[in-house]
Chain A
Amino acid sequence: MHIATSPAFKENARAALANAGLQKALARSGPSFIARRAAAAADLPEFETLRDTARDIKNHALANLDFYLEAYEAKVLESGGKVHWCSDAGQARDTVLAICQAAGARTVTKGKSMIGEEISINEHLEKHGIVPVETDLGEYIIQLRHELPSHIIAPAFHLNMEDWEDAFRKAHTDLPADRQFAERRDILIEARERLRSKFLAADVGITGANFLIAETGSSVIVTNEGNGDLTQTLPKVHIVLASIEKCVPTLEDATSLLRVLARSATGQEFSVYTTFSTGARRPDDLDGPHEYHVVLIDNGRSAMFGTDFQEMLRCIRCAACMNHCPVYGAVGGHAYGWVYPGPMGAVLTPTLIGVEKAGHLPNASTFCGKCESVCPVRIPLPKLMRHWREREFERHLSPAGVRGGLAVWGFFARRPALYRLATRLGAVALGLFGRKKGRFARMPFAGGWTAGRDLPAPEGDTFFARYAKAQRSGAVQ
């Protein structure tokens, strides 16, 4: 398993803020994702309605998931494939290994799969003498650098051109040392040539799945590079890694979800390759795998049903939430310390590795609400993060300072007259003290804030007072 550094989120975040390369990458790439999604949404008048449709389809699928999973399995069997049900990461790893060993596999090519990261399949295969080769360009360099992806659709989001050049020079030592990497294209060409031979030599191809379809027993992958398709077409065995919540009823349901997926993710209208795979090679087919295995993984999902977090199972992994998150934009993905970063990771990670390890993540949010406002399946991410904060508090996992502060605040909040008096006195006093500069460089009990920036001084009344005044003057209802 990947060792989670989520408990050290604060230290990770501090290091990320001081990492010049990362800050350069974040400044370059963050705004472009936001602009591309906005343009794609604006180009489709039905986009907002389609988000409702997408939410409703996933809700329907989840409410009947037991039925649809069984229907799905029956169809996979009918088309010559096999479904392996796995409760946890360990069982899934062993299942994949057994299939690879039965195929006599020496090398395995891989399409990008977040569940593959979640179960650390690469380490497990390596430990047993099988060489996994990541073929998505971003995943390939992550593997060369022995890192986790820092983004769920752009794994190498945190890297710059010089990092690519450095990693390729270190890894491809058989190529001339004096070769030039003048532009991005040179990196791409070298990776294409290097990986082409791996695609052809691999005994097994492992992909993830964006959707599973009960109607037909199909698994769906969505890529731009074509690496996932080469992975699932050329080797004699294709293994699909999928978590249980990926299952939707029909081709029409999947199609509607696809309309919001690419637009929310990269801002494309449709990804270059959207492929539906159904079973093993048919008689007379000239290509395609001879064996088709689906490793269907629970790993904590079934326990989310009936809880506050069931809504998280709607997630289609588009990454819009992290692309729009000010916290992700400041610290990048690695600070979150495990497989899933950003707002979706802040909700999902505590369910998968425990709130005692990942409690910082749902706290690392300004609750600005941007994530929810762009989520294609309308997951109320801030609300779910708040549920985690409540659980953390109830289980006495939050630090004494936080608990003490909340207790003081709670005392006043339950006594509105006292609260208003106290805040009014505070606002007036701070306004007087800060009159000269309009801000405070230091403030007792607010050192965490003022260490990084100044605290603005209040300029007059409290919000309550101003609101009451505005009401009296008729400015607000």
Chain B
Amino acid sequence: MTKQAILTAIRRGLKRGSLPADQAAMLSGRMAAHPRHLIPARSRLPASGQVALFVRNVEAAFGTVASVPDSASVPGAVADYLAAQNLPGSLIMAPHPELQAIPWQDRPLLEVRQGRAEATDAVSVQHGFAGIAETGTLMLPGSPQRPVTLNLLADTAIVVLRASHVVGAYEDGWDRLRAEVGPMPRNVMFVTGPSRSADIEQTLELGAHGPRRLHVVLVGDPAPD
């Protein structure tokens, strides 16, 4: 069998047979404990500092951020953003309870549908699981309540994220995922800014195959320190 042949060739090169049980147990233990390595100090800040760093980094990656005090202010912030960009008010929204609880009816000009995105959708609203301050990255684990197509197909991607869900490093995001979701979701996307390409003459152009605009609506206050 090919599998055995490949494994045997690796072992022959490493000048050993299969790992002895104690070593295998040690490696299994390492996977279960998944130890962290060195984490850059830049995100080791109080929560308010992490939110500020997150916002700065999103903007450095050509994304935009609007901060609002509470969920009730989200429809207004979205409507204002779309009007400023001269975009239509038709949204495809993730069927996530936190997004469903937002009083969208306060803005009757916004037409909100729920589900996955199709190629015809111009604006998507995704639920942000976490924001990674280290590089201004959104962590978006896929689920029935957070379809992956919402990250990709619309020209304008809006992500609603609670400020208290901004963490320092990617590892903090993994820990939260393990604690709150459990087993690895089918898809976990880390998104840093809108789609871009530098394939033409190594010169940056925004809006390749994914969203041309990425807008984060940051809700509420940072987590208490």
Contacts and interface: CB of A to CB of B under 8 A. Distances in A.
A256 B116 contact: no
B189 A273 contact: yes
A126 interface: no
A225 B208 contact: yes
A91 B5 CA distance: 14
Interface in A198-225: 199-200, 214-218, 224-225
A134 to B, nearest CB: 11
A403 to B, nearest CB: 31
A288 B186 contact: yes
A44 interface: yes
A240 interface: no
A161 interface: yes
Contact of A188 (B12, B36, B184, B205): B205
Contacts of B3: 73, 85
A-B pairs, top 7 by smallest CB distance, nearest first, are A305-B13, A226-B210, A306-B13, A225-B208, A302-B9, A138-B199, A286-B116
9 contacts: A44-B40, A87-B5, A195-B209, A224-B195, A230-B152, A272-B61, A272-B193, A275-B188, A287-B149
A68 interface: yes
B41 interface: yes
Given A214-B31, A269-B61, 19 more contacts: A79-B184, A137-B197, A138-B199, A200-B119, A218-B184, A227-B209, A229-B148, A244-B10, A250-B31, A250-B34, A269-B192, A270-B190, A272-B196, A275-B188, A278-B186, A285-B147, A286-B144, A288-B186, A298-B9
Contact of A187 (B10, B200, B207): B200
Interface stretch (A149-157, A350-358, A463-471): A149-157
Nearest to A65: B10
A302 B12 CA distance: 9
Interface in B32-52: 34-38, 40-42
Interface string B1-40: 1110111011111110011000010011011001111101
Given A68-B27, A226-B210, A302 B13 contact: yes
A32 B35 CA distance: 36
A160 to B, nearest CB: 7
A252 interface: yes
A104 B149 CA distance: 24
A173 interface: no
Contacts of B180: none
Interface in A370-412: none
Interface stretch (A11-19, A46-54, A331-339, A361-369): A46-54
- If over half of B's interface residues share one DSSP class (helix, strand or loop), that class is named, otherwise mixed; here it is loop
B166 to A, nearest CB: 15
Contacts of A46: 38, 40-41
Interface residues of B, number: 74
B126 interface: no
A28 B148 contact: no
A28 B202 contact: yes
A303 interface: yes
Interface range on chain A (Cβ under 8 Å from partner): 35 or more
Nearest to A274: B190
A439 B147 CA distance: 69
B62 to A, nearest CB: 9
B210 A225 contact: yes
Interface string A24-44: 010011001100000000001
Contacts of B37: 50, 53, 57, 252-253, 256
A280 to B, nearest CB: 7
A28 B201 CA distance: 8
Interface in A59-99: 63-71, 73, 79, 85-87, 91
B88 interface: no
